[in-house]
Amino acid sequence: YAPWCPACQQIEATWESFAKESERLGITVGKVDVTQEPGLSGRFFVTTLPTIYHANDGVFRRYRGSRTLEDLEGYILERKWEAVEPVAGWKSPSSIMMHGMAGLFHFSGWIRQIHNYLTGTHGVHVWVSYAIFILATLLIGLLLGL
């Protein structure tokens, strides 16, 4: 989820109720703020918010059902997750491919922090910061090409 996401805000009360029922259901329920954990959003290849995953014994399945409390509970109690195709091996959050994707998301967050540091702390104009990153990208590409 993300705090600014209207769909996430809409499901928040339902998700909190689901979390309160988690002990009775024999599961653990959590949420991750993708703005604070960009690596996890890369590892799980989150492209829409909110995104819900069911994980059991290292097998991940994306929940695409209704977002009501009854349907979420039914998904667990009636074991509907067994009928859902697991995330493909190469797209699994534990795969090497998704580990690399998490690294790219961390790298993009690092670049954003540098940009904010240059523009906020040092008062560098936004376009100058962009020009610095463009030049750095070209130089790194040139060095790698050589």
Domain 6-94 in CATH 2.60.120.260? no
Torsion of CA 114, 120, 123, 124, to 10 degrees: 30
pLDDT at 58: 84
Q: Where are the alpha helices (DSSP H) in 2-95?
A: 6-20, 22-25, 38-43, 69-77
pLDDT at 20: 93
* pTM for this prediction: 0.67
pLDDT at 13: 95
C-alpha 28/C-alpha 143 separation (Å) is 48
C-alpha 27/C-alpha 10 separation (Å) is 23
108 sits in which H/E element: helix 96-116
List, by residue number, the catalytic residues: 5, 8
C-alpha 101/C-alpha 58 separation (Å) is 19
pLDDT surpassing 90 at residue 131: yes
pLDDT at 40: 79
C-alpha 136/C-alpha 134 separation (Å) is 5
Model confidence pLDDT, tens digit, residues 88-123:
777 767 777 777 877 887 888 889 889 999 999 999
Q: Do the Cβ atoms of 98 and 91 come closer than 8 Å?
A: yes
Higher pLDDT, 66 or 101: 66
pLDDT at 120: 93
- When mean pLDDT is compared across 25-39, 49-63, 73-87, 93-107, the lowest value belongs to 93-107
Name residue 56's beta-bridge partners. Answer: 59
Pairing of β 52-56 and β 59-63: antiparallel
